[in-house]
């Protein structure tokens, strides 16, 4: 069974469970994005929601990317980590007055606005500060992302963005808002999209909508197509870096930018997922009537994706090279859904072994909770162990 390059020796004195980040892999990933994106002059704003660990944020900021934030605290976290506020976009269906004021004070690049009432509030708060807020309209393109229903966002039934039918009215309404400057349009159809062709209908929809805006005399400087590029959860060892080449190339080929227009992306998962693993220790191996359970000290409070989205994370026993056996690998939380994998083969396991749950760098640590009065998992980095 192929395994990642972990040395359990290094982890000997660290209390489990914890997140372990391979900073060299993150750096390699960032380099790959830079290389592909710079071919076309596009901009990438890292989706902070995927992983807001300050060390991770700092490394991404140092690589020169912007940030995509969905709360006031994410804006603060991004600014603290060194992202220039002039490269911060702020999205979210329910921005509060406090968050909007904070974003105005930080002079962020752009608000991705999702509704008319939100536009009105931003206009009046900007007016009070004597500022003009730059906004992009988040449009729900009604495009199917063919991904898990909880992480699809671009269908009419989802809560996000302006519907296509409301656009003419919004364009008209914006004209009377003196403290709003409409600079662009924004989309995000969903997450963990592994077939890049899934983005084709989005490109077509954007091209169509550009015509609509043009016909209404609105010149847009920016188009933002969000994030969503998926990663290989099945085989992180052989595919540690996502296919950024095909992804950016697809947009270059199929999205017709108007003269002087700039294209933006908000990738999150594809940047950070593969560099992170949840390391957890086996507390007990329990023989059930029909199965064997490996009970580990990490649970759904540390990595909720399997319980919430039936997500798959590859699991490796990094302490054992014995022949593989089949187990249910479960956490200690008092919920039946606290299961990482069922009937899963890992090297024969005994109490005290360390397991690595792979591809956990995105939506892992950042979604941890303290349910059952548990401690939040700590994070360690390959360059300081």
* Residue closer to ligand LLP (CB basis): 270 or 294: 270
CA distance 196 to 140: 19
CA distances (Å), 276 to each of 107, 144, 151, 200, 220, in order?
32, 29, 20, 30, 38
Q: Does 312 bind ligand LLP (CB under 6 A)?
A: no
Which string of x and - marks every residue 166-205 that binds ligand LLP (by CB under 6 A)? ----------------------x--xx-------------
Of 264, 269, 281, 358, which one interacts with ligand LLP (CB under 6 A)? 269
* Residue closer to ligand LLP (CB basis): 3 or 146: 146
CA distance 7 to 9: 5
Q: 95 to 114, contacts with ligand LLP by CB under 6 A?
A: none
Q: Are β-strands 339-347 and 324-330 bridged in parallel, bridged antiparallel, or unpaired?
A: antiparallel
CA distance 305 to 309: 6
The distance of closest approach from Cβ of residue 123 to ligand LLP in the complex, given in angstroms and rounded to an integer, is 22
Q: 333 to 362, contacts with ligand LLP by CB under 6 A?
A: none
Please give the backbone phi and psi of residue 138, each rounded to the nearest 5 degrees, phi first: -80, 120
* Residue closer to ligand LLP (CB basis): 37 or 229: 229
Q: Is the separation of the CB atoms in 222 and 175 below 8 Å?
A: no
The distance of closest approach from Cβ of residue 226 to ligand LLP in the complex, given in angstroms and rounded to an integer, is 4
Q: Does 268 bind ligand LLP (CB under 6 A)?
A: yes
Please give the backbone phi and psi of residue 329, each rounded to the nearest 5 degrees, phi first: -105, 115
3-state secondary structure of 264: strand
Q: Does 47 bind ligand LLP (CB under 6 A)?
A: yes
The distance of closest approach from Cβ of residue 341 to ligand LLP in the complex, given in angstroms and rounded to an integer, is 16
CA distance 269 to 191: 8
Contacting residues toward ligand LLP, per CB under 6 A? 47, 50, 68, 91, 151, 153, 188, 191-192, 226-229, 266-270, 305, 309, 363
């Amino acid at each position: 069974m192929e395994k990642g390059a972990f040395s359990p020796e290094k982890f000997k004195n660290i209390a489990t469970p914890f997140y372990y980040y391979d900073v060299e892999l993150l750096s390699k990933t960032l380099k790959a994005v830079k290389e592909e994106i710079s071919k076309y002059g596009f901009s990438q704003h890292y989706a902070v929601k995927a992983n807001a660990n300050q060390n991770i944020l700092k490394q991404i900021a140092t690589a020169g990317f912007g940030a995509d934030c969905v709360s006031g605290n994410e804006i603060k976290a991004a600014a603290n980590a060194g992202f220039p506020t002039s490269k911060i976009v702020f999205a979210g269906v329910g921005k509060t007055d406090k968050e909007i004021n904070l974003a105005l004070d930080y002079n962020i690049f752009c608000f991705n606005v999702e509704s008319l009432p939100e536009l009105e509030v931003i206009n009046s708060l900007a007016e009070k500060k004597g500022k003009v807020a730059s906004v992009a309209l988040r449009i729900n393109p009604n495009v199917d992302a063919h991904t898990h229903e909880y992480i699809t966002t671009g269908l009419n039934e989802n809560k996000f963005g302006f519907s296509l039918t409301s656009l003419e009215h919004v364009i008209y309404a914006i004209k009377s808002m003196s403290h709003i400057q409409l600079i662009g349009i924004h989309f995000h159809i969903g997450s963990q999209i592994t077939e890049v062709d899934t983005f084709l209908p989005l490109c077509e929809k954007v091209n169509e909508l550009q015509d609509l805006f043009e016909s209404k005399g609105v010149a847009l400087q920016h188009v933002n197509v969000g994030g969503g590029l998926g990663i290989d959860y099945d085989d992180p060892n052989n595919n540690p870096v996502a296919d950024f080449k095909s992804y950016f190339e697809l947009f270059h080929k199929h999205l017709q930018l108007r003269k002087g227009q700039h294209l933006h992306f908000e990738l999150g998962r594809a940047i950070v997922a593969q560099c992170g693993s949840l390391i957890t220790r086996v507390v007990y191996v329990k023989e059930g009537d029909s199965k064997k359970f490996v009970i580990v000290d990490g649970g759904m409070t540390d990595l909720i994706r399997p319980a919430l989205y039936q997500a798959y994370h590859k699991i490796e026993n990094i302490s054992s090279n014995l022949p593989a056996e089949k187990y249910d690998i479960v956490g200690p939380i008092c919920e039946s859904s606290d299961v990482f994998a069922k009937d899963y083969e890992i090297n024969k396991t005994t109490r005290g072994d360390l397991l690595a749950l792979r591809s956990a760098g995105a939506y892992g640590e950042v979604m941890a909770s303290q349910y059952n009065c548990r401690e939040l998992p700590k994070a360690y980095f390959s360059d300081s162990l």
